[in-house]
Chain A
Amino acid sequence: MSSILEVKGLKKHFSNQKAVDDISFAIAPGKIYGLLGPNGAGKTTLIRMITGIFYPDEGTIQFEGKRFSPEDDAIKIGYMPEERGLYKKMKVGEQAMYLAQLKGLPKAKAEAAIKEWFVRMEMESWWNKKVEDLSKGMGQKLQFVTTVLHQPKLIILDEPFSGLDPVNSNLIKDEIYRIAKEGSTIIFSTHRMEQVEEICDDIILVNKGQKVLEGEVHEVKQRYKEHLFRISTAQAESVETNNIFEVVGQQANQMVIKLHDGIDNNTVLRHFIDQGIQIESFAEILPSLNDIFLKIVEGTPTARQFEWN
């Protein structure tokens, strides 16, 4: 699998602060990656190096198999920072044209792309509106459009849904899926774990400037599962901890059990059948990303403050 972006041993230090400390990963085209981490973990610094805003102190960035060059590759990357910004006094259409041209799109092509996107996002009537007259959510939509309209191969979205209503959230979510299907790679940075579970194929978790976890969402969940099962029975039963499982909790006809090491599911089921207990449902409880996130990050002094001196 050829990766679109590959970073190796990336380091960036600020005075006495290791913002990014030896991070390596590779991402494949057409997938949606979640970049997770508590505040101050180094996500923004990492993103700023990938977008060419910062030069890394050490390490290499390979983009499409070649050494990353901010000037040549700018047009292939779309970046939507967490703190959104637009020129307030400019008109919506001019603003989009300006940002597209700065990326390197020729004028005619930029105009065509903007018109197409404005129709798709139901923004046709905005062209001559001033940015300062837009609501926060509208500005968000505009910012998203300016990020993706030059059809970048790599799109980096930092908290793209903050401040959006459910309708517009879904609109943008659908666009993200569509763009990924067309072959672009998306790095999606957020704290909102339920969104990551819903949208992302893979996750990279960083903490204190280092990568602490990487993998497919499904696989990560498997890796961190605690062999917990939820069982509901026809009648209320009293079940004791035994050599197969431990009863973690019990309430009426529901119970949560934790399997002992090396026990498989069928052994558990057989145990209940042998006891003559009628099982209505039997389901494994997989950890949410939120649980995994907290488990890994907690215990370490989390959010460090950024210090420049």
Chain B
Amino acid sequence: MNKTWLIIKREYLTRVRNKTFIISTFLTPLLLVGLIAAVTFITVKSNSKQKIAVADKEGLLKESLQSSESLSFEFLDNADTSLLQKGYDGVLLAPGNGTNTGTDYKIYSGKNLSISVESKLERSIDDAVENKMISDLGQISKSTLDSLKQVARQTRLEPMILNADAEVKASNSGVAFGVGYGAAFLIYITLFLYGAMVMRGVMEEKTNRIAEVVISSVKPRQLMMGKIIGIGAVGVTQFLMWILLILILSNVLGALLPAETLRQVGEANQQMPQAGGGSAALDAIAKTQNMLGTVNWPLIIGCFLFYFVFGYLFYAALFAAVGSAVNEDPQDAQSLMFPITLPIILAIIIMMNAINQPESTLATWSSIIPFFSPIVMMARLPFGVPGTVPYWQLALSMVSLVLGFLATTWLSAKIYRTGILLYGKKVTLKEMWKWAFRKS
């Protein structure tokens, strides 16, 4: 045990001290946050100060087209396209104004207007026309109509689930979809990333011939487990560092950005749901928070860690076995890796199906089989426990993953023991199979 600890320590420290590790750990969140900041900044910058002249003799649009930081409207009864040369970015002509003799609204501009501007205009016009028709036909005053609309907008659909006669608030399926998708993909990426790292490490030891020296001091199983656990710890470290750095960076960035820009960002976000004004935007934020609140975060995070760790251990042992069978030629690694990468890729395909039908037979069973469970179960969990995923399924999935990890480790150790000392011969899958199941 003491010697396994030495191996874990070496594997961990040599990797964590490596320049590539340090650079990628610090650079990835920096790039991510930087990218988001850059995009936001550019969006805000490019949106600002668009001036549009509106010719609308009937005064229909006056109320729904309200100027904001990014877009300003000027109502000029005799506006025409010549204004484009006088500093206006666009000229909106209502039917019967200026050169527009048709029944549609027309907008003229020197260059293409952005999608957000176009859709905002379209919405406003639709709104205005709709409002006018309703109030004209129903003889309803403008203020009554506004308050009616406000009430209608605030009414929500609250999905409930009946389970064992107890009423449970269901997870919002949109949020569940997003969380499940994200978690499953994260596990998919880590399996490949750190699994391949284990394989390369084993190959390095074999081609460097250090394995024989080490194995004369420790058991092959200790060397293999030390490597797997050491690299697993590197993975966990990298993830924690990323989370920490992203939190710190986003806070630092928030403090650094000028207040003006932040206000613009806020406004840009608020403009999205409805053009109706402040209360609708606040309502939307409240709604989002409410939706996120329907996800059982402690359970999701706990399960994510479990499936991350054991999914990694399950596959890392297999990657180690492949690494031990490879002789210098990286092409061998490719073909021997195939049977391991296949179930991982299959799992992600099943996951895409399962996330749309989390209760289908395929989703249920593949979230119990250890080859797929780390990915598929993570996609199902956000839809609710015990609503979508009953406790027995979760328990069975976890137990079978742990048993699966013990089995792959046991078999891999047998392949590893033979493979790591075998040089010069190209190993086939059939031979590896024989090593794994041969009586020792």
Contact = CB atoms under 8 A, between A and B. Distances in A.
B153 interface: no
Interface in B197-250: 204-205, 208-219
**Residue of B7, B213, B423, B425 with most partner-chain A CB within 10 A:** B213
B210 A85 contact: yes
Nearest to B207: A85
Given A48-B421, A308-B425, A87 B14 contact: yes
Interface in A59-108: 70-71, 74, 77, 79-81, 83-90, 98-99, 101-104
B421 A85 contact: no
A52 B212 contact: no
Contacts, number: 63
A191 to B, nearest CB: 18
A55 B135 CA distance: 94
Contacts of A83: 209, 212, 423
Nearest to B438: A15
A84 B425 contact: no
A155 to B, nearest CB: 12
A102 B212 contact: no
A187 B7 CA distance: 28
B6 interface: yes
A87 B208 contact: yes
B300 interface: no
Nearest to B15: A89
B46 to A, nearest CB: 47
Given A53-B421, A308-B425, A85 B213 contact: yes
A96 to B, nearest CB: 12
Given A87-B14, A87-B208, A74 B216 contact: yes
Contacts of B431: 308-309
Nearest to B7: A102
Contact of B213 (A81, A88, A89, A309): A81
Contacts of B18: 89
Contacts of A143: 213
A51 interface: yes
Interface of B: 3, 6-7, 10, 14, 18, 204-205, 208-219, 421-423, 425, 431
Interface of A: 48, 51-53, 70-71, 74, 77, 79-81, 83-90, 98-99, 101-104, 143, 146, 308-309
Given A48-B421, A98-B10, 14 more contacts: A53-B215, A74-B216, A74-B218, A77-B216, A79-B216, A83-B209, A83-B212, A85-B208, A85-B212, A85-B213, A99-B213, A104-B217, A308-B425, A309-B431
